[in-house]
Structure 1
Amino acid sequence: MYRAEIIANQSVQDDIIEVLEENIPGILYTTVPLVTGRGKSSYKLGTATWPETNFLMISYIEDEEKTAVKKIIAAVKEKFPDEGIKVFFVKSE
C-alpha cells in the first residue's frame, strides 16, 4: 500500500479528481482545498502579490494502483504543463 499525495494548482483539481475516479473505480481520497507554499518555479500564497493557491489530495492506494496513478497524473501534467502538478508516493501499511 502507498500513500499518494498530489499537490497542484486549484484550477486543475476537478480534472484530476475526474480522471482518477474514472480510471480507478472506488478510489478513496481526502482533499485539502487550500494549500499555500513555494514550489520549484513559483509561489502559491493566496496573496495580492502571489494570488494563486494549490490543493492537496491524499489517497491510500494498493501497490498495483501506483503505476496507474503515475500515468494518470502524467497525462494531466501533459494537458496542463504550467500548473505545477506533483505526485509523491510513500510506502504505507
Structure 2
Amino acid sequence: MYRVEIISNKSVEDDIVEALEQYVPGILYTTVPLVYGRGGDDYKLGTATWPETNFVMVTYVQEDQLERIREVIKSVKEKFKSEGIKMFYTSADEL
C-alpha cells in the first residue's frame, strides 16, 4: 500500500479530481481544501500581496493504482505547466 500526496494550486483542483476519478475508478481520497505555504519561487498565502492558495489531496492506494495516478498527474502537469503540481508517495502500512 502507498500513501500519495498531491499538492497543487487551488485553480487546478477540479481538473485533478476529475481526472483521477475518471482514470482510477473507485479511488478514495481526502482533500485539505485550503493550504498556505511557499513552493519554488512564490508564496501561496491567500492575501492581497500573495493571493493564490494551494490544496492537498491524500489517498492510500495499491501498487497498480499508483502507476495510474502517476500517469494522471503527469498528464495534468503537462496541461498546466506553470501551476506547480507536485506528487509524493511513500509506502504505508495500515494498523
User: TM exceeds 0.5?
Assistant: yes
- Give the paired residue count: 93
Unaligned runs of 5+ in 1: none
Instruction: Name the residue aligned to 2:3.
Output: 3
Please name the residue that 2:45 is paired with. 45
Aligned with 2:59: secondary structure?
A: strand
SS of 1:78's partner is helix
SS in 2 for 1:25: coil
Report the equivalent of 2:29. Answer: 29
- What residue identity is the alignment partner of 2:6? I
- In 2, distance between residues paired with 1:41 and 1:91? 29
Q: TM-score, normalised by structure 2?
A: 0.95
SS of the residue aligned with 2:21?
helix
| Aligned residue type for 1:36 | Y
C-alpha RMSD of the superposition: 0.6
Match of 1:70, as an amino acid?
A: R
Runs (4+) of structure 1 exceeding 3 A deviation are none
Distance 1:72 1:81 in 2: 14
Give the whole-Å Cα distance in 1 for the aligned partners of 2:78 and 2:42: 19
Gaps of 5+ in 2: none
